[in-house]
Each structure stands twice: as structure tokens, then as C-alpha cells.
Amino acid sequence: MTKFFEYKGMPLVRKGNEIYFGRMGDSEVVYMTLSGKNSVGEVNCATEVKLYRMLTDDSIDPMKRITKTAKKDSLYEALDLACDWLARQ
């Protein structure tokens, strides 16, 4: 079994500027895209994160899977909102 990085007990998987947060076996996960960056020293920090709460059911059209959207100014704010969304499902 592959062990993923976790944030607040939920899997967090990143590839490039895309992040999936949550368990794929649950009914919903949060998909995030990092679209803005700001350099702080040698570290790049996200300045615009778009969030999409989506159903994991593969039989549903991908565009119809999205149940909620939001935009945040930092990855921390985005992860905080994603945690709230998944806790309430």
C-alpha cells in the first residue's frame, strides 16, 4: 500500500500545480489548482488557489461532479477550507 503525505489525517497528493486532498474511497475529495506564485527568498508560495469539491463517482460526467468551488489567496487558507468541506460531508 502506498503511503501518501497527510494533512490533518487526510491524504494530500500533488503533481505540478495540481493537488488532490481527501480519500478517493470517500464520496467527495477536494481538487486544487495553484495558479499564482510569489517568491519569498528561494521558496515559491502560492498566491492564488482554486478549489473544487468534487464527487469521486466515475460514472458521473466530470463537469457534473463539482459540487462547490472557491478561490483563496494562500495554500494554508485553501487547505483549511478543504478540511471544513470534507468534515461536513
Q: Is pLDDT of 2 > 80? A: no
Phi, psi of 86 (to 5 degrees): -75, -30
DSSP label of 23: -
Domains of the chain: which residue ranges?
Answer: 6-87
* Euclidean distance between CA atoms 62 and 54, whole angstroms: 9
Contact residues for 25 (Cβ-Cβ < 8 A; gap 6+):
56
- In this prediction the pTM is 0.86
Residue 10 is predicted with a pLDDT of 92
- Quick: pLDDT tens for 71-84: 999 889 999 999 99
- Quick: pLDDT tens for 28-44: 999 999 987 777 788 77
pLDDT band at 1 (very low <50, low <70, confident <90, very high): low
Question: Do 51 and 78 meet the contact criterion of CB atoms below 8 Å apart?
Answer: yes
Q: Which of 43, 42, 4 is nearest to 22 (CA)?
A: 4
